[in-house]
Amino acid sequence: MIKQEITREILEELYISKQYSLKEIALVYKTTATVIQRKMIKFELKTRSASEAKTIKRNRSAANITENQKEQVKLLFKNKETRANIAKTVELKYKDVNGILVEAGLILEKREVKNLTPLQRQVILGSLLGDGCITNSKGKVAYVETHCEAQKEYAEYKAKILNKNISGPRTLKIKKLNNKEIIGTPQYYFSYHNKPDLKSIHDTCYSNSGKKMVTESWLSEISTLGLCLWFLDDGNSLIHDKSVVVRFATNSFSLAECELLCKMLKTFGCTATAIKSNGYVVHIWQESVEHFMNLIEPHVKEIPCMMYKVKRRSQLVTVAVKIPKIDKETLERLYLKEKLSIHAIAKQFDSYGKLVHRLLLKFNIPTRQDGVKTVLTPTTIVQIKELHAQKLSLRKIAKILDISPPTVKRGLTISLINK
């Protein structure tokens, strides 16, 4: 069989007059679209743009849609049906349903993208310092955030500001080294899509490698709300001794980035410092803790489930500590001759180890550098073994036997049991 030669006149008729695609012409002549494209170049015939080809395809599809189907689509849309459900009911493609609605003026051909409000921008900028992240894959930009079940109310607070609904609970399965699967805690999540604004924020807050990068331009936009959300995401507060300790888990940031965060806190009137701890953590000075809590509390009150993070010095409970009345000779006998530990001496006098340690320094009694290990009798080792078999924690076993957790661990090692 002799193949028919593809001439300029044939291409003009099929491609321009009948509006065939290159692929359709190739099927007619049993060849490939690449061969047809070369012929188009040879005869200096201009090919259609992607948008023109899409319009022709849409018009062809629309030509096969009946007037009855069009009326059904309009009626269902006015009855608040989703476009996906309409396409399924009327047996049309989703894009055909869109085309009918655009033609009828019921929807815009391109949805108008609104800019982020100042409040929405603060939620994203503040949360990016903590749990939030922006994904950027093949030009598709999205803000994503996940929270545990205990913080569901917190996730709903952020999602509401962004005009989104949270999804979940989603349970994650975690595999251990022994290949046993354990079920993780339920998680609630939401995502927000706004390409223009999110793209600019992504460029400000992320490096070219896709890693978060703290910059001055980013931090200059943070308000008290952004500061509050950063603290609720990655901050923690605890009452220790006679003070309230406030820290931010900034371990993934470099020292230079943590110093920038301390500089930002200074603009809010809070003095902070970067402390080395498995990376670096930002620690707020005691003199600034009360002021910091005053800044964030008005925002935290809107999220009751997160109020536990707000701690003040007024919450500290003053306990009357009994200072041990021990003379130098008694302390030397107990500590140096009887080899009792500081903890054991403090317990004997109903006091604290710190106070006993101060007395040792006061009386110039040399302290033991490595301490003295508690002697483990065979009976104690058996008791440790029995309690361990009941799946009690080291702390609970130590409390029952009135010994320290490290001593319990040593007893387990002696009895050849691995905790």
Token representation of residue 34 = 């690449």
- Angle (CA) 8-12-15 rounded to 5° is 125
- In this prediction, residue 319 carries a pLDDT of 45
Alpha carbon distance 388, 397 (integer Å): 7
Low-confidence spans in the chain with pLDDT less than 70: 1-3, 61-63, 108-113, 172-184, 195, 241, 316-324, 369-375, 416-419
Q: Do the domains 118-218 and 233-315 sit in the same CATH topology, yes or no?
A: yes
Token pair for residue 77? 């849309």
Residue 52: strand, helix, or coil = helix
Burial of 308 (0-12, 13-18, 19+ CB in 10 A): exposed
Compute how many other C-beta atoms are within 10 angstroms of the C-beta atom of residue 14: 19
- Rounded Cα distance between 70 and 62, Å, is 10
CA separation for the pair 371, 339 (Å, rounded): 9
Q: Give the pLDDT confidence of 1-35 residue by residue, as tens digits.
A: 446 788 888 888 888 888 888 888 888 888 888 88
Domain layout of the chain by residue ranges: 118-218, 233-315, 378-414
User: What is the distance between the terminal CA atoms of the chain, rounded to a whole angstrom?
Assistant: 82
- Residue 35 three-state SS: helix
Written out in words, the top-level CATH class of the domain with range 118-218 is alpha beta
Looking at residue 2, its pLDDT comes to 46
> By C-alpha distance, which of 186, 299, 316 is closest to 233?
299
Preceding omega of 304 cis (within 30 degrees of 0) = no
Q: Which CATH architecture has domain 233-315?
A: Roll (3.10)
d(CA 406, CA 384): 12
CA 69, CA 304: separation in Å to the nearest integer?
Answer: 51
Task: In whole angstroms, give the CA distance from residue 253 to residue 230.
Answer: 14
Please answer whether residues 165 and 159 qualify as being in contact, where contact means their C-beta atoms are separated by less than 8 angstroms.
yes
Residues shown for the chain: 419
| DSSP-derived 3-state class of residue 276 | strand
Distances (CA, A) of 261 to 129, 218, 227, 252, 294: 10, 10, 10, 13, 19
